[in-house]
Structure 1
């Protein structure tokens, strides 16, 4: 008897809360071309106020492709004139990708949400 093991990526969930005057965008799942929509919406300037301070909590992200990287870079570009964007809790597999393309030299990365909020 043959069994087919189809790969099904973990669906992306994105939630936004406020902590210490910053917007915390918690992301869980895999960020790729098909799933990036909710992250794009969460990082849109129109809902973040005049001086947006945003931390993307990436503890739950196990995979990110170039689509996710482009979302983060576009958000950084849009937010930095008046505010900032920081990444927190990036898993080692995703951090390796961010380091390879140099995102970590453009967007500050912190080991924890607390570190990102208090930096």
Structure 2
């Protein structure tokens, strides 16, 4: 990733149809997801977005390889956004595909959580 210095992989998990890899670049946690976000994979995503004991967390969720997201994923993203905001940080969504952005738009999440077209844009201030 040319955007900044990578600090390495923090955690990699796979839960059924969802793969989660968390890395850090320039003190921003990048959570890269691949597969489907649904009720069965929700706990994996929830753990990856946990900010307890993290001062001023900055998180980018890379959605470019997510093929499906239901209301479980929406609820997890909203809860994470709330927790990050309360900790005086921010959460951004990066590169959602057509199906995912349609879901985010239908329920208005894209108006609440900052959505960027690319990972590079999401990592920029």
Q: Offset of 1:73 from its aligned partner?
A: 0.2
Structure showing greater radius of gyration is: 1
Matches within 5 A, 1:1-119: 11-46=17-52, 49-81=54-86, 82-119=88-125
TM-score (norm 2): 0.84
User: For structure 1, which runs of at least 5 residues remain unmatched after alignment?
Assistant: 1-9
Any runs of at least 4 consecutive aligned residues in structure 1 with deviations exceeding 2 A, and if so which?
none
Higher relative contact order (CA 8 A, sep 6+): 1
Q: How far apart are 1:20 and its partner, in Å? A: 2.1
Shift of 1:21: 1.7
Deviation at 1:19, TM superposition (A): 1.1
Provide the C-alpha distance between the structure 2 equivalents of 1:114 and 1:20, rounded to a whole number of angstroms. Answer: 12
Alpha-carbon distance in 1 for matches of 2:39, 2:107? 17
Separation in 2, partners of 1:58, 1:20: 20
Task: Quote the residue 1:4 is aligned against.
Answer: none
String of CA shifts for 1:26-51, please: whole Å, max 9, x gaps.
0110000011111100011126x201
Higher strand share: 2
- For residues 107 and 61 of structure 2, what CA distance do their matches in structure 1 show? 18
Q: Which runs of 5+ in 2 are unaligned?
A: 1-15
